[in-house]
Homo-oligomer: A and B are copies of this chain.
């Protein structure tokens, strides 16, 4: 990684045009070639940048970075206050613990939390437009498609609508109704769901985890 703290102007010509007047900034060039220009504030996002792959050409006080799409980043330097360079070696990378998959697992094991009498038929039930999170049967024996989101938004309603469209063509399953389950559901999503006859259910992650522990304690 190469780091330079210097006065500079920056011009970006690509998906849009942008310009940074002369000021002191930090310029970071990573081992993969990506370039970032940081101000001393404004969160982690750089003011301007160019991801790899790209080619950096240096001509006196001007650096020009071009990528294969023809997008350009032009940095013109004034006074350079500081510069250093160092090899880091490979990074072992980030380990994450997911939330949405955990939510699906918990609900698959406790479908009655969604609705009284609901029973799981199949998880990740395939359709031509993608897998339905949970396919269930309700107390009355009807088929129910459940879409699980961490946050329920319009996209989730659209997705479930597409699934229902295809599921209802299968005469062995039809009629199929839909339930959108999320920790929070946005008002606009609720509105659209209601309009399409889709039920909205908000679940509390803590309660769900508690219910799961209770269940485990029985064994």
Contacts and interface: CB of A to CB of B under 8 A. Distances in A.
B191 A89 contact: no
A99 B43 CA distance: 21
Interface stretch (A26-34, A113-121, A137-145): A26-34
Pick from A42, A46, A93, A191 the residue with the most CB of B within 10 Å.
Answer: A42
Nearest to A33: B41
A78 interface: no
B46 A91 contact: no
A21 B95 CA distance: 9
Interface string A1-24: 101010000000001111111011
Nearest to A45: B44
A17 to B, nearest CB: 4
A30 B23 contact: no
Contacts of A150: 15-16
**Pairs of residues from A and B, 8 with the lowest C-beta to C-beta distance, nearest first:** A40-B88, A39-B91, A16-B98, A32-B41, A36-B44, A31-B40, A17-B97, A24-B88
Given A1-B40, A17-B97, A36-B44, 8 more contacts: A3-B3, A16-B99, A18-B97, A20-B92, A31-B40, A43-B49, A44-B46, A44-B49
